[in-house]
Structure 1
């Protein structure tokens, strides 16, 4: 039995703790947050859903080294569910305390720096797997599942998104995770594989329309950053194509393009009426309440496609799944897909199934393993294989 610490008692952290309690056979799960009331609310929700005495809420400041090291001294696995920019510091504390770690990532540059510390993790006998969650994370693992259906995959494409089940104009979107992470995905460049090589592709490029049947209808997909984590470099020279796009209702991408062109994504302070403001912070201040004001039963959609050869014949494998808000538990689909991918990885580490070191998400869990674990959690994952010969 293992001791888990969930850092961050928000939406994803609460879902992570639930899954650890249900499937991780823990001796203890600590939910730690800078706001003790938030940690206690997360603990209370899980205690209302599960008959358990293994939960503990504690207050901790992630910026306080002494507090963090005291918290982690007796923990087996830390799951970081705090904003991505804090994960460098959290990784420091994990290594110093010899605590294995999983995080929700979201910034490929930070993830690459974490992976470069593999030798330190090996020396400490711990495992670090960054960039788990829905995307990056589950989407990468689902791409592997499609690839595993073929002898020789060559072209791999991923489409995924979390959406309000009942969209309301004019936004047709709702905030299911930290808004800083959302804007981070909408800024900068993505890294894809095209013609066998890793290339940079600007966000919002190459918008396309995909159909998801009568249940969902048509959606628009566009390029966003960070969704593939380090997968492009791992498969450079092995795949001819690797791409990932984010799904939204019609009109969303035009709104975001306009906001970015207006300068609202900028992080450079500017003068306004003799006051210095950061445009992105002001933009978040205005937009976040709008995205939170309507009921947000949600749906998450994911489709991965691998084209290559199977049995010497050209073949396409398509893997698809949908997830909805759960009225019984009150968990959003986004919380389940984001949190539970991270908790699956943490449980793998606790079981000793991964070697020591810092391991990229595409090397830490196969698609087949995820399929087995997903079924335990009620995921309905459809696999279709089509002969193209």
Structure 2
């Protein structure tokens, strides 16, 4: 059967976007990459593109079937609106709630193409895992989702390295978090409700952060007593972040804090991505808790070593594009992580990496 998506534009060719383009090409799509600066030596054709130029963005989408935006969250709405205007399928990696709300609005106004934001790691893969476990329960008491992108060999009091967008990190630490408590949606402060977590003998701490649940609260409201998303860090990290934001009064200086974090804790190549999903409830008539726990490390793809945060995010996003193209997912309307089953994601060319890696 012919694919519904054959040609894909990738906006933003950073460490994730470059791999998204490469995985799409490996999966049989024709790909063209766009970035604000010239990129040489990639395996796909590229152009220089300023996303602020609306005409140029729409021209870039004129001859493709889909676009994957790997841009900073504040640039995604412009791309989503251009996709809406041109009838192109839209995918992104954002964790930003207002951005996703705008994408939902666009999907309702033109349900003839796909709008699939939040296709990365969290939100994205972690929600797919949680939903896939939850559907095996007769009654669900709680869904607990946790992800941490960390250095394998931490140093200092923060025990951290900024391998992801500093804007995204600061936002998830400061924006209020949507959760379910007693089955109802609530907004609670970020970096609260800390708990101890041990994965493969490594002690971590987890605290609530924003954006990781995507649309799951609206999906499960009234059906699940407790639902939340927490970020995993090494012990003591959140205490230091409270000092930075509160003791030093930097909550209103997000850009400065992001730059400080990058300067103090620059990216590393030897990272690890921890994924921890747990569902409690009744299964086969008995109380039960099911866990899905992984620790993903850098891997080689097409002769090059990719950071864990890069390949887990990229492989998740490209898997969703594959599922739409191959007719496993609808080819129109808004697609949520809750609409995707982990078994289906694992069956894709890009999704196979999750099967082969990460066991603890």
Tell me the TM-score normalized by structure 2.
0.92
1:221-243 alpha-carbon deviations (Å, 9 max, x no partner):
01111110111011101111111
Structure 1 match to 2:11: 7
Using the alignment, how far apart are the partners of 2:291 and 2:84 within structure 1? Answer: 39
In the alignment, is the contact (CA less than 8 A) between 2:84 and 2:106 conserved in 1?
no
Q: CA deviation at 1:218?
A: 0.5
Which of residues 37, 61, 86 in structure 2 aligns to 1:97?
86
Using the alignment, how far apart are the partners of 1:148 and 1:17 within structure 2? Answer: 32
Which of residues 312, 331, 336 in structure 1 aligns to 2:311?
336
Which of residues 187, 191, 212 in structure 2 aligns to 1:204?
191
Match of 1:116, SS? helix
Which of residues 244, 252, 263 in structure 2 aligns to 1:289?
263
RMSD: 2.0
1:340-386 alpha-carbon deviations (Å, 9 max, x no partner):
111111222222431412223322x12332243476225357999xx
Which of residues 35, 38, 43 in structure 2 aligns to 1:36?
38
In the alignment, is the contact (CA less than 8 A) between 2:162 and 2:261 conserved in 1?
no
Using the alignment, how far apart are the partners of 1:381 and 1:36 within structure 2? Answer: 33
Using the alignment, how far apart are the partners of 1:282 and 1:205 within structure 2? Answer: 23
| Structure holding more helix per residue | 1
Runs of 4+ residues deviating >4 angstroms = 380-384
In the alignment, is the contact (CA less than 8 A) between 1:183 and 1:265 conserved in 2?
no
Which of residues 229, 242, 246 in structure 2 aligns to 1:257?
242
Which of residues 229, 238, 242 in structure 2 aligns to 1:244?
229
In the alignment, is the contact (CA less than 8 A) between 1:194 and 1:240 conserved in 2?
yes
Structure 2 match to 1:323: 296
Unaligned runs of 5+ in 1: 48-54, 267-278, 385-389
Using the alignment, how far apart are the partners of 2:344 and 2:225 within structure 1? Answer: 25
Unaligned runs of 5+ in 2: none
Higher-Rg member (1/2)? 1
Figure out how many residues of one structure are paired with residues of the other and give that number. 351
**Bigger shift: residues 353-362 or 223-232:** 353-362
Using the alignment, how far apart are the partners of 2:139 and 2:342 within structure 1? Answer: 15
Tell me the TM-score normalized by structure 1.
0.85
In the alignment, is the contact (CA less than 8 A) between 1:320 and 1:381 conserved in 2?
no
Using the alignment, how far apart are the partners of 2:261 and 2:283 within structure 1? Answer: 48
Using the alignment, how far apart are the partners of 1:5 and 1:222 within structure 2? Answer: 36
Using the alignment, how far apart are the partners of 2:250 and 2:180 within structure 1? Answer: 30
Residues 313 and 102 of structure 1: CA distance in aligned 2, closer, same or farther (over 3 Å): same
Using the alignment, how far apart are the partners of 1:284 and 1:305 within structure 2? Answer: 31
In the alignment, is the contact (CA less than 8 A) between 1:153 and 1:308 conserved in 2?
yes
Structure 2 match to 1:276: none
Structure 1 match to 2:135: 148
1:241-295 alpha-carbon deviations (Å, 9 max, x no partner):
11111100112111111111122231xxxxxxxxxxxx322333333122216x4
In the alignment, is the contact (CA less than 8 A) between 2:170 and 2:257 conserved in 1?
no
Match of 1:133, SS? coil
